[in-house]
Amino acid sequence: MIGFVLGTSEGKKFLSLINKYTSDLTVFTATKYGGELLKDFNMKNIFSTPLDKEGFKNQIKKFSIKAMVDASHPYAVNVSKNLIKACKETDIEYIRYERRGIIESLDNKDNISTIEKYGDLKSVLSSFDGNILNTTGSRNIKKIIDLKLENRIVHRILPDGDILKDILTLGVQVEDVIAIKGPVGYELNKAFIKEYDIKAILTKDSGIQGGVVEKIRAAKDTNTKIILIKKPLIDYGKIFFEEINVIEYIKKEYLLKK
């Protein structure tokens, strides 16, 4: 049994690749929505709620998982840290798939400000007037609300009923919500900027798969500021940057040695 912790962007690709060789899989996603996207693939088990270290350990033991592939979002720091510890304490291999960021490869960064954490937004926006489009995910909305910014914040979230209910409970107004599955292309990014009179986009460097390139291009072409939260640094150990390389490693080390 191989375990996969999957985000919404790479999940389908990973499962379509690994299903050529095995369906002896246990899959973990952070949301019910993520699980729904993957339900048509062949697997033995799927769990669509967040797990802590003990939760991962319990599932590893219950299903005799031999290795865990962590393909969670590059900013899902707690997920990765919990999984690394769970794998170490159950003596199985942890394998990380990591998207490559794009910020370092950009030649022109004139309209891009980088910050280390959400709290830094306060100083960046202290002399900035205009609406902000938050594309960093629903789990970070409370951090932004707690800053008590003067700007109107429009939040782009996944089209998930539970997520919408949660953020409305936080006090977000329905007119400040865009519910759509990403990644979002260039033209749609431009349309959102125009429709909501956006002057700055808050984003993560979540790689090509996360639609950051199109987001930055749309911002440049509309004279919109980009505020980019830097990727956290984690010592993952064994790491791959291409999905196919993960599958080839799993096939060689765990499937052909049966």
Residue-wise pLDDT tens digits, 199-245: 999 999 988 888 899 999 999 999 999 999 988 889 999 999 999 99
The mean pLDDT of 78-95, rounded to a whole number, is: 97
**Locus of tokens 């790479």:** 10
Average pLDDT of the residues of the chain: 92
Pairing mode of beta strands 225-229, 239-240: unpaired
Topology (CATH level 3) of domain 103-229 = Rossmann fold (3.40.50)
**Residue 50 contacts by C-beta under 8 Å, 6 or more apart in sequence?**
30, 79
Which pLDDT band holds residue 34 (cuts at 50, 70, 90)?
confident
pLDDT-based confidence at 258, cuts 50/70/90?
Answer: low
Residue 13 is predicted with a pLDDT of: 93
93: enclosing H helix or E strand: strand 93-97
Mean pLDDT calculated for residue range 181-195: 95
Domain boundaries, the chain: 2-100+233-255, 103-229
Name the amino acid, one letter, at 96: R
Q: Is domain 2-100+233-255 classified as CATH 3.40.50.720?
A: yes
**What pLDDT, on the 0 to 100 scale, is given for residue 103?**
77
- Assess whether pLDDT exceeds 70 at residue 7: yes
Q: Tell me whether strands 131-134 and 153-157 are parallel, antiparallel or unpaired.
A: parallel
Whether pTM exceeds 0.95: no
